[in-house]
């Protein structure tokens, strides 16, 4: 059974803060796959927060739910992301530790679901992918994968790449090939709804 967080939450928080300069361009990349103006956005996993907050700035009528998986991350959410929170998004986000199956069962679905670092959570059945897809509303999409995105400036990546790699390795990062990811998507029964992008990383875009 997968978990949406890794045990070392202190190191996870360091990685999340390290990526502060990446989130605006990563959010714009994610937005390329969205049809219209999403009203409900879900960001999931322990690396959640920064991209979702930047998506709120792109979509002024949207609300964000962050399912971070960890009580410690939820408790420190505002402190960790205070540098990104402005008056325009105040009151438009919530953070929870709900599981994906409880989210899928208890709500009507989200127009946009995003998961950075999904490779940390993949198990042999790729259950996290099917559970993520179950939270997507009709007409919505899921973007899940990992990477900086194609538009993050080289100087931003160069400034953090070594430290980010070392810390993610310490957290147990898995190296997943395109073929590995395709097989995971197939095991989750999503191959007919998915496309893969290698722009600035490795991403699955799954539409409902």
pLDDT digits (tens, 9 = 90+) for 120-172: 999 989 999 999 999 999 999 999 999 999 999 999 999 999 999 999 999 99
The pTM of this model reads 0.96
Across residues 185-196, what is the average pLDDT?
A: 97
Q: Are 98 and 70 in contact (CB under 8 A)?
A: no
- CATH number, domain 9-207, options 3.40.50.450, 3.30.1330.20, 3.40.50.150, 3.50.40.10: 3.40.50.150
Residue-level pLDDT at 203:
98
H helical segments located in 41-199: 50-58, 71-75, 77-81, 100-106, 127-134, 154-170, 178-187
Give the mean pLDDT of 37-41: 97
- pLDDT reported for residue 87: 85
Q: How many CA atoms lie within 13 A of 135 on its CB side?
A: 27
Which residues are within 8 A (CB) of 37 and not within 5 positions of it... i.e. 6 or more apart?
59, 61, 62
DSSP 175: P
The closest alpha carbon to 133, from 147, 121, 106, 115, belongs to: 115
- DSSP letter, residue 11: H
What value does the mean pLDDT of the chain take? Answer: 95
Quick one: pLDDT at residue 104? 86
**Residue 41 and residue 143: Cα distance in Å, rounded?**
11
Query: What's the DSSP call for residue 99?
Result: -
* Whether residue 1 has pLDDT greater than 70: no
């Amino acid at each position: 059974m997968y978990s949406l967080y890794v045990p070392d939450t202190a190191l996870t928080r360091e990685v999340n803060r390290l990526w502060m300069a990446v989130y605006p361009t990563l959010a714009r990349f994610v937005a390329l796959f969205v049809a219209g103006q999403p009203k409900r956005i879900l960001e999931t996993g322990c690396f959640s927060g920064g991209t979702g907050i930047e998506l709120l700035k792109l979509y002024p009528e949207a609300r964000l739910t962050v399912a971070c998986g960890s009580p410690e991350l939820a408790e420190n959410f505002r402190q960790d992301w205070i540098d990104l929170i402005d008056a325009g998004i105040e009151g438009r986000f919530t953070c929870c530790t709900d599981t994906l199956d409880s989210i899928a069962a208890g709500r009507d679905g989200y127009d946009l679901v995003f998961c950075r670092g999904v490779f940390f959570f993949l198990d042999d059945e790729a259950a996290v992918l099917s559970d993520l897809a179950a939270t997507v509303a009709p007409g919505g999409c899921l973007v899940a994968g990992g990477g900086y995105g194609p538009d993050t400036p080289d100087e931003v990546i160069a400034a953090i790449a070594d430290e980010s790699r070392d810390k993610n390795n310490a957290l147990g990062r898995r190296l997943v090939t395109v073929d590995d990811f395709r097989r995971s998507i197939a095991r989750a029964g999503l191959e007919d709804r998915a496309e893969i992008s290698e722009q600035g990383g490795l991403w699955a875009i799954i539409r409902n």
